[in-house]
A and B are shown apart, each in its own frame.
Chain A
Amino acid sequence: METSLPLLSLLVWLPLLGALTCLLLRPYTGAGRWTALAVTTAVFSLNLWAFLESRGLDGWLWQEDHAWIPRYGIRYTLGMDGLSLTLTLLTAFLLVIAVLISWRLDVHTHFFFSLLLLIESGIMGVFLALDLVLFYLFWEVMLIPMFFLIGVWGHENRLYAAVKFFLFTLAGSLLMLLAMITLYLVHGDQSGHYTFALASLVDTQLPPALSWWLFGAFFAAFAVKVPLFPLHTWLPDAHTEAPTAGSVILAGVLLKTGVYGLLRYGFPLFPEPARASLPVLGVLSLIAIFYAAWIAYTQSDAKRLIAYSSVAHMGFVILGIAAWNTTALEGSLLQMVNHGITTGALFALIGMIDARAHTREISELGGLWAKAPVLGAFFLFFALASLGLPGLNNFTGEILILIGTFAVHPLWASLGLVGVLFAAIYMLRLVQGVLWGQSHSTQDWGDISWRETLILAPLALLVLWLGLYPHPFLEPLREPVQRLLLESSLRGLGGLP
């Protein structure tokens, strides 16, 4: 779409500008959070505008392309299609929520909010970059603020969790960097045109063995982020230790960058090994679903339970990708949005409960329903959404994934269905422990404030909207999914329409 507005650059750089403003306004108490709120709201509005403008359009909705490092053929290329649009919209929305959640934070406030904005900048870049080096740059940039969020504002074991998070994700991405350079050189040798542009690199003819190695390196980087079993162990630590806003961003958006990378880069660049790895993905996702559900069930810490449930939910997303057909893929992408909203809401709720009860141990909680009825109702609502109650958002995603998977792998779909049952078990245990029973503290909690309502109400509305009428969100995903399937079938690799 032709506009004079550098929309994509604004999405990426506005938060960065906001982060600097936050730091500069350090002497003024309260200026940080207002700046953060203003900037995240502005970014969200821009994104929403893009979403409304793009109705009925297909392909690359917006693109920007400038020379950046000519010597290495690296360009500043940003592009937005339906897939990017959906995910940036989710990011922008959750960042507003994250700022509101952290409103009361009083330790190094300006530093905190500038990090939140910095992370928004990085994630937007990841979802919009179409040049491999630019993508890598943003991919790493989003790590640093998250490292600080966990390390400075986290709970007891924060240093351990922060370093583990950083090392795990960096290990994967460094391999990806090597693979990128190799791919670039092979492409340059073949075509004489040295470029890191994704659009050109997809045409590279790779020797089979090499393409397996390169795909492996990319896959490692993305699988860590998803996180796919057995690379998931950083996630519960990071989640448990992170402050609430950090958890919301981690679960809501950061995990999605892994799946996004797989779909945007992994599959188009290396279709053959990617195609051949689908069964592996399927098996790993099923393991993740059951294993994570089981571990989630045994957790005593409510936040850790939600963290493991994230692993299980992302397992579903990967299951849909492993099925590799329209229905399942659309379900997967929709489920990413669903999971971002539901889990974000649950983490926010745990944060609110923690702020009142000063504990996250399920055994020490209880009686929320009586003490704070509105908060309790919200908790129940989001818990039910998370376990996939029909009419609420997770159901629509899961059902699409299961239908799509059933068409190709009935066994996988049946097992996945049992996984949904497992999700119900641990979720109900959480609800049981937190909402009902005897309260362990005699203090008066007070029900939710206007600020907390402002956080939870839009999330709840979205849960209902996505559960009842997901069409507006599925629509922008249709074309990218078709393109993915078409590309893989054009290369003689089959693929069910």
Chain B
Amino acid sequence: MTLLELHALLPVLLLAAGAVALLLAGAWQAHYVTAMTYGVLIALGAAAIALFYEPATASTALGLFTMDSYSRFFAVLWSLLAALTLLMSFRYGQRHYFLGGEYAALILFAAAGMILLSSASSFFGLFLGLETFTLVFYILIAFHKGSPLGAEAGLKYLIMGGVATGLLAMGIALIYAATGTFHFDSASLIPVGDQALRPLLLAGWALLLGGLGFKTSLVPFHLWTPDVYEGAPSPVTALLATGSKGAVFAALVLLFAGSDLTGSPLGSLLWLLSALSMAVGTLCALRQHNLKRMLAYSSVVHMGYLLLALLPAGSNGSGAILFYLVAYSGATLGAFAVLTVFSTGESEAASYDHFRGVGYRQPLAALVLLICMLSLAGIPPTAGFMGKFSIFYAAIEGGYTGLALIGILSSLISLAYYLRPVMVMYMAGTEDGMTVTETSCSAAEKSVLILCLLVTLLLGVYPGPLFDTIALILP
């Protein structure tokens, strides 16, 4: 490994080294707040390095990862997400007795894994990056030892994740057997046209998509999602819903960069996965009475949208995915931040009843949840609208009007479930509701809420600069 490669990997190295340091320090002197503060600083430092420090060339580390402006974009994004997750966990962790530095260290490890996955240039790198943060999430999801829901969620994610890993490894092996390469950039990877009937390759792709489908909870691999979302601590769910899924899509964009899937068997497979995710996710989300479960199914739908933008070849689809990931991450993180604010020592605030009349008692948190819901529903002037606009644009341009229509229909129905929490917050009577002990937001939580609000609104009315940046960094 040359010095140049080390320079390129600096954000990841900082996160990993920082996490190890926090773990070690925690062994000597367990002090939660100090560890968390350092965790935030390390994550912000990694984001700053990725943002401002530009290595001389786009360099390859061991052939597994390529650190270029594309992966640096995601390094910034995932580091910031980790920092925000830690910020919103300060009070939550104290209430749940997350002692010492291990929580902060795990979040940093997860961010490092996500950055690795977003910069994968070979299947080996993809596998490595994916497993790095999946392992962390096995622990994080069950972090709250006392909660039976948490234990169940952890076990579920562990078993499902294990299966997914198996599928992924088998798929990669088959693709390697069929093509003789691990590297993304060889054209023979994608079965197109006449080559379509190469059974080994196609089977490999099917297994690979199955494995990635588990991680991103695409229908029919989504069954773990609601339970895990519900059982995991809210800040962990926030990172799971945004970063872990987004990183997989970042890798998928790299994987499919420049390849035209139209007409290929792989394209049909993705078409089906996208349509199913949008349809099934929407219908299931409609039936939920728990905000966390609703957000789980809504994430299934959003993964369907992202897949919809993956289908058409060309930079418009990839650009749409990147923009959508930012918009979706902002809104989802904001929603879970609100959930974290309202969680008490004993219970997670998740049932709609917890939110009765909150709009007038906690104006800021309620406003953030409202704007996040509107963004997820794709209503202007929020980032979600611009994201959806660019996705539908790419889909129609690529000739996938039918799929776009399904998307339109599902986003119409989605309004019914996104508006429900809003209505409970602002319109339901406050008298007959359950009362939760609400304390006002802490300063750290407030900063996360305000940041999510600003990002969501700003990208909704002035998305130009982000679109331009994305156009510059696309592979």
Residues of A within 8 A of B (CB): 26, 67-72, 108, 111, 133, 136-137, 140-141, 143-144, 147-148, 151-152, 158-159, 162-163, 166-167, 170-171, 174-175, 177-178, 181-182, 185
Determine the distance from Cα of A137 to Cα of B385 in the docked complex, in whole angstroms: 9
| Smallest CB gap from A70: residue in B | B464
Q: Distance (Å) between the CB of B316 and the closest chain A CB? A: 9
Chain B residue numbers with a CB within 8 Å of A159 are 423, 427
Q: A71-B468, A178-B392 are in contact. List 6 more A-B contacts (CB 8 A).
A: A72-B390, A140-B385, A163-B416, A163-B423, A167-B415, A177-B389
Report the stretch among B237-245, B262-270, B373-381 that lies at the interface: B373-381
**Which size class do B's interface residues fall under?**
20 to 34
Report the stretch among B7-15, B84-92, B334-342, B403-411 that lies at the interface: B403-411
Determine the distance from Cα of A144 to Cα of B415 in the docked complex, in whole angstroms: 12
Is there an interface contact between A141 and B416, defined as CB atoms closer than 8 Å? no
Is there an interface contact between A182 and B360, defined as CB atoms closer than 8 Å? no
Chain B residue numbers with a CB within 8 Å of A181 are 389, 392-393, 396
Determine the distance from Cα of A158 to Cα of B428 in the docked complex, in whole angstroms: 10
A163 and B419 in contact, given A137-B381, A174-B412 (Cβ under 8 angstroms): yes
Is there an interface contact between A178 and B404, defined as CB atoms closer than 8 Å? yes
Is there an interface contact between B411 and A174, defined as CB atoms closer than 8 Å? yes
A152 and B392 in contact, given A71-B471, A141-B380 (Cβ under 8 angstroms): no
Determine the distance from Cα of A116 to Cα of B436 in the docked complex, in whole angstroms: 31
Chain B residue numbers with a CB within 8 Å of A177 are 389, 392, 408
Sample 26 A-B pairs with CB under 8 A, ordered by A number.
A26-B363, A67-B464, A70-B464, A70-B468, A71-B464, A71-B468, A111-B360, A137-B381, A141-B380, A143-B379, A159-B427, A163-B416, A163-B419, A163-B423, A166-B415, A166-B419, A170-B379, A170-B412, A174-B411, A177-B389, A178-B392, A178-B405, A181-B389, A181-B392, A181-B396, A185-B396
Is there an interface contact between A140 and B379, defined as CB atoms closer than 8 Å? yes
Q: Distance (Å) between the CB of B399 and the closest chain A CB? A: 10
**B426 at interface (Cβ–Cβ under 8 A)?**
yes
**B438 at interface (Cβ–Cβ under 8 A)?**
no
Chain B residue numbers with a CB within 8 Å of A68 are 462, 464
Select which of A133, A166, A175 is within 8 A of B389 by beta carbon: A133
Select which of B363, B426, B463 is within 8 A of A151 by beta carbon: B426
A171 and B392 in contact, given A140-B380, A152-B426, A178-B404 (Cβ under 8 angstroms): no
Is there an interface contact between B396 and A182, defined as CB atoms closer than 8 Å? yes
Chain B residue numbers with a CB within 8 Å of A26 are 363
Chain A residue numbers with a CB within 8 Å of B468 are 70-71
**B54 at interface (Cβ–Cβ under 8 A)?**
no
Chain A residue numbers with a CB within 8 Å of B467 are 69, 71-72
Q: Distance (Å) between the CB of B282 and the closest chain A CB? A: 14
CB 8 Å contact bits of B408-448 with A (1 = contact, 0 = none):
10011001100100010011000000000000000000000
Q: Distance (Å) between the CB of A234 and the closest chain B CB? A: 14
Determine the distance from Cα of A136 to Cα of B381 in the docked complex, in whole angstroms: 10
Within 8 A of A (CB), among B292-349: none
Is there an interface contact between B374 and A144, defined as CB atoms closer than 8 Å? yes
Taking chain B's interface residues, is the majority helix, strand, or loop, or is none over half, making it mixed?
A: helix
Chain B residue numbers with a CB within 8 Å of A147 are 419
Chain B residue numbers with a CB within 8 Å of A141 are 380-381
Is there an interface contact between A151 and B408, defined as CB atoms closer than 8 Å? no
Chain A residue numbers with a CB within 8 Å of B397 are 185
CB 8 Å contact bits of B462-475 with A (1 = contact, 0 = none):
11100110010000
Q: Distance (Å) between the CB of B280 and the closest chain A CB? A: 20
Chain A residue numbers with a CB within 8 Å of B379 are 140, 143-144, 170
Chain B residue numbers with a CB within 8 Å of A67 are 464
Determine the distance from Cα of A174 to Cα of B389 in the docked complex, in whole angstroms: 10
Chain A residue numbers with a CB within 8 Å of B405 are 178
Q: Distance (Å) between the CB of A154 and the closest chain B CB? A: 9
| Smallest CB gap from A151: residue in B | B427
| Smallest CB gap from B461: residue in A | A137
Determine the distance from Cα of A177 to Cα of B396 in the docked complex, in whole angstroms: 11
Chain A residue numbers with a CB within 8 Å of B464 are 67-71
Determine the distance from Cα of A182 to Cα of B379 in the docked complex, in whole angstroms: 20
| Smallest CB gap from B467: residue in A | A71
Select which of A72, A133, A151, A167 is within 8 A of B412 by beta carbon: A167
Chain A residue numbers with a CB within 8 Å of B374 are 144
Is there an interface contact between A167 and B380, defined as CB atoms closer than 8 Å? no
A137 and B419 in contact, given A69-B463, A71-B471, A108-B360 (Cβ under 8 angstroms): no
Name the 5 nearest CB pairs between A and B, nearest first.
A71-B467, A137-B380, A151-B427, A140-B380, A69-B464
CB 8 Å contact bits of B365-399 with A (1 = contact, 0 = none):
00000000010000111000110011011001100
Determine the distance from Cα of A67 to Cα of B468 in the docked complex, in whole angstroms: 13
Determine the distance from Cα of A289 to Cα of B421 in the docked complex, in whole angstroms: 39
| Smallest CB gap from A107: residue in B | B360
Q: Distance (Å) between the CB of A186 and the closest chain B CB? A: 10
Determine the distance from Cα of A147 to Cα of B423 in the docked complex, in whole angstroms: 10
Is there an interface contact between A148 and B380, defined as CB atoms closer than 8 Å? no
Determine the distance from Cα of A151 to Cα of B468 in the docked complex, in whole angstroms: 39
Chain A residue numbers with a CB within 8 Å of B471 are 71
